[in-house]
Amino acid sequence: MYWDKEIETMPRDQLEELQLKRLKETLEQASKAPFYKKLGLEDYEVKTLDDIEKLPFTTKEDLREAYPYGMVSVDRQNLVRLHSSSGTTGTPTVVFHTIKDIDSWAELVARCLYMVGVRKGDVFQNMIGYGLFTGGLGLHYGAERVGCLTIPSGPGNTKRQLKFLKDFDVNVVHVIPSYALYLADAAENMGIEPSKDLPNFRIALIGAEPHSEETRKKIEDFFSIDAYNSYGLSEMNGPGVAFECSEKTGMHIWEDAYLVEIVDPHTLSHVKPGETGELVLTTLTREGMPVIRYRTKDLTSIISSTCACGRTHRRITRISGRSDDMLIVKGVNIFPVQVEAVLLGTPGVRRNYQIILESRGHNDHMVVRVELDPGMFAGDMKGLENLKKKLTRDLRDELLITPEIELCEPGSLPVSEGKAVRVIDKREE
Amino acid sequence: MAHQLSLFVENKPGKLDRILDIFMDMGMDVKAFTIASSDKFGIIKLLVDKPFKAREMLKQSGFTVALTEVVVVEISGIPAGLKDITGFFLSRDINIDNALGFSFDKDGRALVIIESEAIPEVKDLLVENNFRVLSDEQIYAL
């Protein structure tokens, strides 16, 4: 049931004691890095966990500024690994690991895998990018630690993915949710029947891009498996920061390794317990590159109630958006993932979409462009008008503003990839 | 039943042009067509001599296409001949969803292409009541 029972079920008071001890060690270690030395980190005094609020934040811009080696807090010859985030503009952000860091990262990932039922002897196909991106190697090391036969297939080459799934009797996959949906379509086209051809396929670990509960349901239903949401970011190692347990009610965040805060993105002070805000994390075990109060830009809230699985580490809710991809339209906060959720629940349209924001007079105007599903086209205008009406109504209920729907020909919108540009903001300043 | 092609297209120049290229390549005859648009998109309907083959070709070219059933009736003229049909439909509470009618000779004889929700039944009723309903062969040979 538990990979590391003592840690995973540690009573809260002991866990917090451990956190305080590790926070003090981390601050001492971090103070050796040029970036934190310049910030005068060693002058801050921390006596209780609440004192974390006195410490300065670290942002992605800080990491860029410290490029290349400014965040490193050990002798460089002790570093064994460098990863870089998938940032598309400007200087990349890099993260360094010592051999001990790699070991504790693998341990956290193994904990996650064991939690969702992955066991020694399982065949694990890792369909996530290897290389600088942390998703591939992060899960790879964890899966090997559990004792899985690990297939580093990486993404793409869909026919071979499906062939391997079938021929090697794969039990567990790690996959980006949009690719899992694509894989389901491809399997259907190739005549693969999950119940017959993939009888021992049990688990999909889905993460690395925001997705809705509907997406999870679609993946689970098509393959007859359980899909578990995973959360991580390269600045905090990568995958393995937080993971769902079999209850599927929020992701346990490993509090022996990360100190969790939720702050209001504008005021930067702590939100009330249970309220949504920006997740801020401090590493508690990393030696090569400790990071203090890192602003993840991911929006979530903490579930403090105890979980039926017995783990004492608190859960965070599904990431509801990013404080930097939040759109403000007519004064209302809107996240693209909300639009995705409505589209997935609407027969007749595909999941590709585009949001266009315009100014009309002094008002914001939102257009949602969506592709018609060719299989559902009955040939009449009435059906299309009804579809438009239904989408308008459902989106208004979800977003609280009324968008204009534009039905487009299938295949005419940019293809869905992890970071597809879905929002075009033409509004005047 | 006779079938008509129905295509979903974005409301942009060049769409019909491409469809006609495909038809000319495969030697497809078009008997009638209509275009109806609603702001950003439109529906092009075409009555052709080989609708099933045409549907396959259009699908392969990436078009979103459906086949709908139609009934074609010859009438003595418009409005008089057409009123026989509308009066008959009114008495049976039958609604016309879409229609295209045109007079084709100097005596005023006309053809009406009718789309309705319950096409097979409507066709049977029209035949039973001595309307001049065209057979599929007659339609495709127009």
Answer left, alpha or beta for residue A178, where phi above 0 means left and psi between -120 and 50 means alpha. alpha
A338 in the same domain as A278: no
Which CATH number fits the domain that encloses residue B47? 3.30.2130.10
Calpha distance A289→A102 (Å, rounded): 12
Domain boundary, last residue among B53, B68, B83: B68
Which CATH number fits the domain that encloses residue A10? 3.40.50.12780
A383 in the same domain as A238: no
Which CATH number fits the domain that encloses residue B92? 3.30.70.260
Domain boundary, last residue among B15, B49, B68: B68
B37 touches chain A (CB under 8 A): no
A172 in the same domain as A62: yes
Domain that holds residue A345: 327-425
Q: How many CB pairs under 8 A join A and B?
A: 51
Per-residue pLDDT, averaged over A293-298, amounts to: 94
Look at A384 and B62 and tell me if their CB atoms are within 8 Å.
no
The total number of structural domains in chain B stands at: 2
DSSP per-residue letters across B71-133: EEEEES-TTHHHHHHHHHHHHHTPPPSEEEEEE-STT--EEEEEE-TTHHHHHHHHHHTT-EE
CB-closest option in A374, A382, A406 to B64: A374
Calpha distance A374→A354 (Å, rounded): 18
CB-closest option in A380, A408, A411 to B68: A380
B84 in the same domain as B23: no
B56 in the same domain as B6: yes
Contact A426, A358 (CB under 8 A): yes
| pLDDT higher at A212 or A79 | A79
- Chain A residue at shortest CA distance from B39: A406
Whole-number pLDDT of residue A326 = 72
The total number of structural domains in chain A stands at: 2
- pLDDT at residue A261 greater than cutoff 80: yes
A36 in the same domain as A145: yes
Domain boundary, last residue among A294, A324, A354: A324
Look at A380 and B97 and tell me if their CB atoms are within 8 Å.
yes
B36 touches chain A (CB under 8 A): yes
Nearest to A141 by CA among A85, A172, A102: A102
Which of chain A's residues have a Cβ under 8 Å away from the Cβ of B60? none
Look at A409 and B8 and tell me if their CB atoms are within 8 Å.
yes
Per-residue pLDDT, averaged over B24-34, amounts to: 93
Domain boundary, last residue among A324, A347, A375: A324
A346 in the same domain as A228: no
Calpha distance A4→A273 (Å, rounded): 28
Could you give the strand order of the β-sheet that contains A277-283, starting from the edge strand earlier in sequence?
A: A258-263, A277-283, A294-300, A321-322
| pLDDT higher at A242 or A334 | A242
A317 in the same domain as A396: no
> CB neighbours of A306 closer than 8 A, spacing ≥ 6?
A312
A418 in the same domain as A311: no
CB-closest option in B36, B64, B68 to A372: B64
B74 in the same domain as B134: yes
Per-residue pLDDT, averaged over A213-217, amounts to: 89
Quickly state the pLDDT bin for A121 (edges 50, 70, 90): very high
Query: What pTM value is reported for the model?
Result: 0.66
CA distance A209 to chain B (A): 30
Percent of chain A with pLDDT over 90: 73
Look at A384 and B43 and tell me if their CB atoms are within 8 Å.
yes
Which of chain A's residues have a Cβ under 8 Å away from the Cβ of B66? 377-379
Whole-number pLDDT of residue B1 = 82
- pLDDT at residue A89 greater than cutoff 70: no
A343 in the same domain as A314: no
Look at B41 and A379 and tell me if their CB atoms are within 8 Å.
no
B8 touches chain A (CB under 8 A): yes
B86 in the same domain as B56: no
Count the alpha carbons within 13 Å of A231 in the hemisphere toward its beta carbon: 26
Look at B9 and A409 and tell me if their CB atoms are within 8 Å.
yes
Selected for mutation to probe chain A from B10, B41, B61, B117 (highest A CB count within 10 Å) is B41
| pLDDT higher at A391 or B116 | A391
B86 in the same domain as B104: yes
A204 in the same domain as A60: yes
B49 in the same domain as B94: no
Least confident span in A203-212, A408-417, B105-114: A408-417
B104 in the same domain as B118: yes
B92 in the same domain as B114: yes
Residue whose pair of structure tokens reads 């039944």 in the numeric block: B121
Q: What is the largest CA-CA distance in chain A?
A: 72
B83 in the same domain as B28: no
Look at B8 and A407 and tell me if their CB atoms are within 8 Å.
yes
Query: pLDDT by residue (tens digit) across A279-294?
Result: 999 999 999 999 999 9
Domain boundary, last residue among B68, B98, B123: B68
Domain that holds residue B30: 2-68
Look at A384 and B38 and tell me if their CB atoms are within 8 Å.
yes
Selected for mutation to probe chain B from A373, A406, A409 (highest B CB count within 10 Å) is A409
The amino acid sitting at A289 is M
Look at A385 and B6 and tell me if their CB atoms are within 8 Å.
no
CB-closest option in A372, A379, A408 to B6: A379
A332 in the same domain as A299: no
B99 touches chain A (CB under 8 A): no
Domain boundary, last residue among A307, A324, A341: A324
B90 in the same domain as B62: no
CB-closest option in B10, B38, B67 to A379: B67
- pLDDT at residue A88 greater than cutoff 70: no
Per-residue pLDDT, averaged over B37-51, amounts to: 92
- pLDDT at residue A303 greater than cutoff 90: yes
B132 in the same domain as B119: yes
B77 in the same domain as B62: no
Per-residue pLDDT, averaged over A121-132, amounts to: 94
A176 in the same domain as A119: yes
Look at strands B41-48 and B30-38 and give their pairing.
Answer: antiparallel
Calpha distance B125→B131 (Å, rounded): 9
Q: Calculate the CA dihedral of residues B75, B77, B82, B88 and round it to 10 degrees.
A: -60
A138 in the same domain as A45: yes
Helix ranges (DSSP H) in A206-301: 213-223
Q: What is the ipTM score, two decimals?
A: 0.85
CB-closest option in B10, B36, B68 to A412: B10
Which CATH number fits the domain that encloses residue A388? 3.30.300.30
